């Protein structure tokens, strides 16, 4: 039986990878890379502040700041929310830039 459908076969190392949701084109890659680095540095500073505060002033992290929660919990959840927000910003910006680059070509 040679009813083999090539669309259902596994890709080989030599076959090109096609993606329906290719978000970053080669023209928008430098902007996406720059944005990624900026977001990384911002998050690194926020996380570094969290670590340094825990390491050198742990008593401050015990301070109740919101609804009976201490600073460590609020800061930790804040870091999680900031990371989610940054990933959304990065995703939306790179898709928008890729669409604008494709439209101008």
Which is more confident, 12 or 47?
A: 47
- Write out the residue range of the structural domain in which residue 77 sits: 25-104
> DSSP letter string over 27-76?
TTHHHHHHHHHHHHHHHHHHHHHHHHHHHH-GGGGGSEEETTEEHHHHHH
Count of the separate structural domains present in the chain: 1
Query: Is 4 a member of any domain?
Result: no
pLDDT at 24: 53
Residue 15 domain-assigned (yes or no): no
pLDDT in tens, 20-69: 455 555 556 778 888 899 999 999 999 999 999 999 999 999 999 989 99
Residue 49 is assigned to a structural domain of this protein: yes
**Partners of 20 in the β-ladder:** none
């Amino acid at each position: 039986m040679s009813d083999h459908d090539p669309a259902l076969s596994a890709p080989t190392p030599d076959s090109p990878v096609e993606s329906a949701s290719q978000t970053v084109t080669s023209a928008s890659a430098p902007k996406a890379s720059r944005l990624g680095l900026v977001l990384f540095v911002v998050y690194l500073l926020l996380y570094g502040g969290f670590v340094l505060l825990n390491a050198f002033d742990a008593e401050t992290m015990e301070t109740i700041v919101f609804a009976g929660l201490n600073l460590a919990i609020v800061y930790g959840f804040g870091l999680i929310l900031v990371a989610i927000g940054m990933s959304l910003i990065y995703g939306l910006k790179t898709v928008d830039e890729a669409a604008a680059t494709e439209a101008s070509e």
